[in-house]
Chains A and B, each alone.
Chain A
C-alpha cells in the first residue's frame, strides 16, 4: 500500500481505478433501477388519475340522469303519483344528490392534487364567509336537534384567498361536526390575533381517538368509527380541507380528548 511518502505504483493505480469503476457501476445500476421505478410510479399515478376521472364522470352522469328522473316524477311531469311513490322518489332524489356531492368531492381532490384548480386569490372578509355559512347550516343542525352557536371577537378578518374554496373548507368542517354529533351543540369561535385568524369549530360529537387523529387529514384517512355514524364517509372531506388550506398557506388541525369526548377543528389563516 502506498503511503504519503511513496508514489503510487501503476499497478496500484489501476487496481484503485478499476475498483472505483465497479463502485460507480453499482451506483449507476441503482440509479437506473430508481429511475425505472420512478417511471413506473408516475405511469401508475397517471393511470389512477385517468381512472378516477373516467369513473367519477361516468358515475356522476348516472346519478344526474336518475336525479332528473326522480325530479320529473316529483314535479308531475309523469302525471299523478301515489304518496308511496312520491316518498320513494324523494328518497331517490336525496340519495342521488349525496352521490353527486361525493363524486364532486373525489373529483375536486384529484384536481387539487394535479394542480388543475386555479385559486382566485382576492382580499376578502373571512368573518363574512363564516357568518353566511352559519346561516346556511343552522337549518340542518336544528333538524338534528343541535344548537349552532357563534362567538366572534372584535378584530380584522381580512384574508387573501379564494372565497369559493375557503367556503368549501369551512362548510366541510361544519358539516362534519353536524354529521358526527348526535346531541349537544356546535360552537364556532372566530378570533384575530397577532396577524393570524383562528376559527375553532367545537362539537360534542363522537370525538377522535389518538390513532384516528394521525390519519385524519390524509387521503382516504377517515376515522375508524366514522362509517358507523356516516355510511357515506369517503375519507376525502378533511383531506380536501387540508389541500385548500395548504393552497392558502394556512393550517388545519384537530384536537379531541378522545372517543365520545367531542372534537375541536381549527383553521388558521394569515391576516391580509
Chain B
C-alpha cells in the first residue's frame, strides 16, 4: 500500500489509543476521506495531502495542539522514507 494511504490510518489508530472510537467518528467527518473502519483502510476523493491536512486539523480543532503532536508522532517512521513534497504540510 502507498505510504500516503497509510498515513490517515496510522493517525486514526494513534488517536484511537487516546480518545477511543471517537477517533473514527471524527475521521469520517473529514471531507474527501472515505473511511472503511471494518477493514482499517481509507481512500481519498481529491488531493490526498490536502485531505490528510484536514484530518489533522479536525483533531486539532477539537482536542488542541497536543493532538497535532500525536499525529506527527504517529507517522514519524512512515514519512521518514518519503520525499518532502510528498509529505502533507501539517506533518512536516
Contact = CB atoms under 8 A, between A and B. Distances in A.
Interface string B59-79: 000111111001000000000
Contacts of A17: 62-64
B18 interface: yes
B63 A31 contact: no
A22 B63 CA distance: 8
Contact of B70 (A18, A25, A31): A25
Nearest to B66: A22
Contact of A28 (B17, B62, B63, B64): B17
Contacts of B70: 25
Interface string A19-31: 0011011001001
A176 B23 CA distance: 61
Nearest to B14: A28
Contacts, number: 26
Interface in A6-43: 14, 17-18, 21-22, 24-25, 28, 31-32
A31 B62 contact: no
Interface in A132-174: none
A25 B62 contact: no
Task: Across the A-B interface, give the 7 residue pairs with the lowest CB-CB distance, nearest first.
Answer: A18-B64, A21-B63, A28-B17, A24-B18, A28-B18, A25-B18, A22-B66
Interface of B: 17-19, 62-67, 70
